[in-house]
């Protein structure tokens, strides 16, 4: 029984050795054939050249044929992606057009509504603008004013608004022949009837002597509206000096109603002196 087992093991080992010998022989044969082909190709034998060209043709043609499905798949994928991108872009443009039409309709409605309200109030406002240069900046703890180079000869009058670009910065309180003095919003004596938007709360904006304002004389507790909301302060038009809707500043909701003016009063160089006429005034 043991002898039979040994014979079986010997037979398997012999088969493996024969297989290894065959592999060695095949490898050596391939090496010698390759060396022989390279040697012949260096001698420029035509037959070898033809064989070499034929092999290259077969390889190149086969590679091209094999790559056709892959290239087609890439082309289809690219076209599909381009189509989807175009479709997505088209959808976005449609949304933009739809939103633009909605905004236009809303804007047209607001314009028509505003026109009707002005007709009802008979409050067609005409304005006269006089451009002026700041000559002197009178800055003290008790006085915040500027002297301008326009006076009565330029038709400047007391009470006219002083505008920096589109923002209210003060009003004329003294007029001479060639110059005038404007009291800035930051002065302690400045009191401007105003409105807080978007809640339409009527207030009076007062100067503090510093580069910010504060709220006075309101009938409701405006502090309840400061919860993470941007509050813009405009002129209300009450009192008849200024037209309604001139921007003044913005309220910092993290503070106790402090108004940050839109204009930097320490950097004023040129301003507009504006006179507003309401209704049938002449």
Joined together, the tokens standing for residue 209 give 């002597």
Give the alpha-carbon dihedral of 89, 92, 97, 102, to 10 degrees: 180
Is 211's pLDDT higher than 70?
yes
Helix 2-42 with 46-121: angle, nearest 10 deg: 90
Residue 158 above 70 pLDDT? yes
Query: Has residue 219 got a pLDDT over 60?
Result: no
CA 272 – CA 160 distance, rounded (Å)? 10
Query: Can you tell me the distance from the alpha carbon of 198 to that of 195, in angstroms, rounded to the nearest whole number?
Result: 9
Question: How much is the average pLDDT of 26-45?
Answer: 63
For the beta carbon of residue 100, count every other beta carbon within 10 angstroms. Answer: 10
Distance in Å from the first CA to the final CA of the chain: 136
Which residues are 251's β-sheet partners? 231, 259
Distance CA 18, CA 24 (A): 10
b/e burial code for range 7-34 (CB count within 10 A of at least 16 → b) = eeeeeeeeeeeeeeeeeeeeeeeeeeee
Confidence of residue 88 (pLDDT cuts 50, 70, 90): confident
Three-state SS across 222-258? HHHHCCCCCEEEEECCCCCCCCCCCEEEEECCCCCCC
Between 256 and 175, the higher pLDDT residue: 175
Helices (H) and strands (E) in the chain, counts: 2, 12
- Whether pLDDT at 151 is above 90: yes
* Total count of residues recorded for the chain: 282
Percent of the chain at pLDDT exceeding 90: 22
Highest mean pLDDT among 1-10, 41-50, 238-247, 258-267 belongs to 258-267
Q: Quick one: pLDDT at residue 150?
A: 92
Fill in the DSSP letter of residue 44.
Answer: T
CA distance 188 to 194: 16
| Contact predicate 195/233, CB 8 Å | yes
Most confident of 41-55, 91-105, 152-166: 152-166
DSSP 46-72: HHHHHHHHHHHHHHHHHHHHHHHHHHH
Q: Can you tell me the mean pLDDT for 210-226?
A: 72
Q: How far is CA 25 from CA 12, 47, 124, in A?
A: 20, 27, 110
CB-based burial of residue 238 (10 Å sphere; 0-12 exposed, 13-18 middle, 19+ buried)?
middle
The SS3 call for residue 95 is: helix
Query: Mean of the pLDDT values across residues 32-57?
Result: 63
- Tell me the mean pLDDT in the region 122-134: 73
Report pLDDT for 2: 47
Instruction: For residue 161, give every residue at least 6 positions away whose Cβ sits within 8 Å of its Cβ, in sequence order, or none.
Output: 168, 170, 171, 241, 242, 246, 273, 274, 275, 276
3-state secondary structure 154-201: HCCCCCCEEEECCEEEEEEEEECCCCEEEEECCCCCCEEEEEEECCCE
Mean pLDDT on 139-152: 82
Average pLDDT, integer, range 222-235: 73
pLDDT of res. 17: 46
Question: What rounded mean pLDDT belongs to the chain?
Answer: 76
Sketch out the chain's domains with CATH numbers. 125-278 (2.40.10.340)
CB atoms within 10 A of CB 281: 10
């Amino acid at each position: 029984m043991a002898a039979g087992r040994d014979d079986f093991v010997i037979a398997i080992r012999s088969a493996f050795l024969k297989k290894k010998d065959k592999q060695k022989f095949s490898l050596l044969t391939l090496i010698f054939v390759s060396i022989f082909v390279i040697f012949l190709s260096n001698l420029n034998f035509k037959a070898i050249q033809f064989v070499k060209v034929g092999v290259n043709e077969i390889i190149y043609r086969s590679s091209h044929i094999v790559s056709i499905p892959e290239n087609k798949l890439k082309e289809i994928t690219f076209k599909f992606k381009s189509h989807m991108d175009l479709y997505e872009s088209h959808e976005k443009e449609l949304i933009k057009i739809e939103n633009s039409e909605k905004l236009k309709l809303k804007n047209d409605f607001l314009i028509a509504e505003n026109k009707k309200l002005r007709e009802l109030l008979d409050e067609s406002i005409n304005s006269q603008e006089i451009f002026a240069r700041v000559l002197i900046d009178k800055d003290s703890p008790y006085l915040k004013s500027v002297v301008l180079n326009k006076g009565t000869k330029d038709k400047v009058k007391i009470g006219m608004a002083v505008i920096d670009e589109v923002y209210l910065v003060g009003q004329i309180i003294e007029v001479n022949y060639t110059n005038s003095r404007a009291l800035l919003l930051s002065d302690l004596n400045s009191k401007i009837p105003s409105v807080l938007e978007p809640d339409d709360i009527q207030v009076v904006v007062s100067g503090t002597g510093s580069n910010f304002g504060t709220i006075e004389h309101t009938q409701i507790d405006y502090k309840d509206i400061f919860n993470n909301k941007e509050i813009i302060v405009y002129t209300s038009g009450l009192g008849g000096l200024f037209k309604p809707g001139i921007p003044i500043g913005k309220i910092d909701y993290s503070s106790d109603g402090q108004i940050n003016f839109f204009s930097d009063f320490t950097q004023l160089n040129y301003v507009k002196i504006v006179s507003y006429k309401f209704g049938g005034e002449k």
